[in-house]
Amino acid sequence: TVLSAFADGVLRLTLNRPDKLNAFNEEMHLALRAELERAHQDPSVRAVLLTGAGRGFCAGQDLGDRDPRQSDGPPDLGRTIELFYNPLIRLIRGLEKPVVCAVNGAAAGAGANIAFACDITLAARSARFIQAFARIGLVPDSGGTWSLPRLLGEARAKALALTAEPLDAETAANWGLIWKAVDDAVLLDETAALAARLAAGPTKGLGLTKRAIQMAATNSLEEQLELERDLQREAGRSADYAEGVAAFLEKRKPGFTGR
């Protein structure tokens, strides 16, 4: 349910239930989680690329997986969130390595919000983002109620979440919800090139940069200045900093190792 390929420091993960537009069942959740845990643990993984197989990126939860009509009494979706979606978002945000996302087609429900949880998200011009929850009586999850108002402001966040109107990739980029929209034909090449470039970079410093920017969501300026001091101290001790400065002074290309 998840295709995994590793090359040049990039772990490429492809959601692979194309008949269901890569909607999540338990098996796909567990497969994706295992891969992201590997990314956490394996120092040779220096960036992650997330995309989908076929014409969709991810249609959120597989609505046929557990039909509420067939269970006795109402289902406990809180359990599904706690067991599967929340750990996934924590893994993506907590990974101190760049996670780039190539949204190759429809991103609906949790599928959209997973794309917004990644660090750099590109989308095919034909892709659409849909807060589908409102169509079935649910609440945006996978961090959507956190990321949408932060990225868009309340007015656009509420309109998208309450109407479930599809948002095209170009508008998503213009609104700051994703990094950019690109032609369908070049999406994967462009995202892969970006992931490879990041993976060859000073990934220790990039990971600390990711952490710092995420902390800004809850820190005051004073707290953030202190965090920058601490992280710069750590980055300054890295082999990549020494290499970066040496390469600059010697007018050559740096060879970063992520340490």
Instruction: Pick the closer one to ligand LHQ by CB: 40 or 135.
Output: 135
Contacts of ligand LHQ in 10-49 (CB under 6 A) = 20-21, 23
Query: Applying CB under 6 A, which of residues 64, 73, 74, 137 lies at the interface with ligand LHQ?
Result: 64
Q: Please tell me whether residue 109 binds ligand LHQ under the rule CB under 6 A.
A: yes
CB-wise, 80 or 238, nearer to ligand LHQ?
80
Residue of 18, 52, 11, 56 whose CA lies nearest to 35: 11
Establish if 119 lies at the interface with ligand LHQ (CB under 6 A). Answer: no
Q: Does 106 bind ligand LHQ (CB under 6 A)?
A: yes
Cα Dmax for the chain = 70
Residue (133 or 256) nearer to ligand LHQ, CB:
133
Query: Which of 96, 170 has the CB closer to ligand LHQ?
Result: 170
User: Quick check: 179 binds ligand LHQ (CB under 6 A)?
Assistant: no
Q: Give phi and psi for 146, each to the nearest 5.
A: -95, -50
Residues in the interface with ligand LHQ (CB under 6 A) total 23
Residue located via tokens 């032609």: 183
Beta carbons within 10 angstroms of residue 118's beta carbon: 22
Distance CA 94, CA 155 (A): 28
Residue 144 amino acid letter = G
DSSP codes joined into one string, 15-30 = E--GGGTT-B-HHHHH
Q: Report the residue number, 6 or 146, with the smaller CB distance to ligand LHQ.
A: 146
Token pair recorded at residue 107: 């991103």
| Closest approach of ligand LHQ to the CB of residue 128, in Å | 7
Cα–Cα distance, 107 to 60 (Å, whole number): 7
Shortest separation between residue 234's beta carbon and ligand LHQ, angstroms: 37
Stretch 68-97: interaction string toward ligand LHQ, x if CB under 6 A: ---------x--xx----------------
Q: Looking at beta carbons only, is 130 or 157 nearer to ligand LHQ?
A: 130
Question: 122-161 mask for ligand LHQ (x: CB under 6 A)?
Answer: --------x-xx-xx-x--x--------------------
Give Cα 121 distance to the centre of its chain.
7
Residues that bind ligand LHQ (CB under 6 A): 20-21, 23, 59-64, 77, 80-81, 106, 108-110, 130, 132-133, 135-136, 138, 141
